[in-house]
Amino acid sequence: MMIVYAWMTVLWADVSFAWHPSLWFGSSWQWIVGPLLVWLAAWMTGASFRRFFGVMQYRQSAIKGWRKVGRVLLYGVCAPALSYTIAALGADVAHAIPKPVEGDWKIAVGIAGTIIAIAVLSSAISKLRRTEIYQ
């Protein structure tokens, strides 16, 4: 659950970062670190559950006794607790991203409109060049 919450928080922070131009030119490194931490937590959880399942299979493991107890604790308790902590750190990093300037979304809409207008204009010019009327 924590990984899903951290993923949603990081996704929302990254969308906010991408949409607001006031954040583009700051020295914000959190938009990279947050997703990396969440990815690391998800990978760690998946790997530990796979190994935990392998240890807990009946007669599938040659490990017995205290070594098996140690691996069960490592893969079933310690690794998920560590991945929970890493996911919480990823969500915390996403919360620490600077907030955008109010009304900044208008600049992003203007930039997006300009890019679309340039694309439409260049497409029209290229079609005109291919026709016989222009030549």
- Per domain, the residue ranges of the chain are 2-18+28-99, 102-135
Of 107 and 80, the one with more pLDDT:
80
Q: What is the average pLDDT across 127-134? A: 72
Find out whether 87 and 44 touch, Cβ atoms under 8 Å: no
How confident is the model over 32-74, as pLDDT tens digits? 777 888 888 889 888 888 888 888 777 766 777 888 888 888 8
Find out whether 83 and 44 touch, Cβ atoms under 8 Å: yes
- The pLDDT value recorded for residue 23 is 63
Q: Which of 16, 29, 9, 6 is nearest to 99 (CA)?
A: 16
How confident is the model over 28-37, as pLDDT tens digits? 666 677 788 8
Q: How far apart are CA 102 and CA 23, in angstroms?
A: 12
Residue count of the chain: 135
Find out whether 94 and 2 touch, Cβ atoms under 8 Å: no
- The pLDDT value recorded for residue 116 is 93
Instruction: Copy the structure tokens of residue 28.
Output: 């914000």
**Percent of the chain at pLDDT above 90?**
6
Of 131 and 85, the one with more pLDDT:
85
pTM of the full structure: 0.58
